[in-house]
Amino acid sequence: MRVLLVVCLCSGIIHGLWAQVGDTTRALDVRNKPKFILNFDARRQQVDGRIVRFFGARAGVQHRRDIYAIGLYGLGDPLLESGATLPGPGLDSVDLRSTLGYVSATYERILLDTRRWQLSVPAMLGYGEAVLARDSADVWLPYRRTPVIPVETGVRSAFKVFFWLYVQGGIGYRRVLSGNARVTEDFSGLTWNFGLSIKLGKIYKYARDKIGERRERKKKDDGTQ
């Protein structure tokens, strides 16, 4: 009888431990599953004594504390310069308009991730084009197209207001490599950003899960009728 009780007791303990291990494994599987991310990504920079804004959006995946993303970035408003000197006859005092756009690959490491706060270090490498145009009788004529390779890193912090809305700030440095000294000098420098960050990927996931739950409830209701 005692042997039977011991066997039953051991069996119950093993079953409980195995169930706990299974629950832990399932929780780890959910936590370790890659997450899709999609969000706007803008920053400011001082260029030729003026504050300009770069707009961007990126999409990618987050696996644990690692983020891999591809983004598109561009200068918000063209950069205007008066009285510039360009090589060529009659081009010693012209108005220039500069634009910059590029695609970028990003790796971001999350150093701190709590219920409310997040701290991360992004590293970006891009490829794009800077376009210079000169003013000729109030008509902008293309002057030069220059391939560019922007390299950027920095530090970002974010405070979670809602699951989809963050107050975000960061500081970094961008170095633009190009064959044009003017482009390199103008667009290389300190970058920063502060504002609201909307996590479109989390909104999409929330909406998808809610739609799935509604469908499941509808199936159950239809089955009971």
Judged by DSSP in three states, 24 sits in helix
Judged by DSSP in three states, 1 sits in coil
**Residue 159 is inside which H or E element, if any?**
strand 139-162
- How many Å apart are CA 184 and CA 135, to the nearest integer? 21
174 close to 35: Cβ distance less than 8 angstroms? no
What are the φ/ψ torsions at residue 220 (nearest 5 degrees)?
A: -65, -40
45's CB contacts (< 8 A; 6+ apart) are 51, 52, 53, 54, 174, 187, 189, 190, 191, 192
- How many Å apart are CA 37 and CA 158, to the nearest integer? 15
For the chain, 225 residues long, give each residue's pLDDT as a single digit of tens: 544 444 444 455 445 444 454 444 444 444 568 888 888 888 899 887 789 999 999 999 999 999 999 999 999 999 888 877 777 656 777 888 899 999 999 999 999 999 999 999 999 999 999 998 888 777 888 888 999 999 999 999 999 998 888 899 999 999 999 998 889 998 999 999 988 888 877 888 889 888 988 888 888 877 655
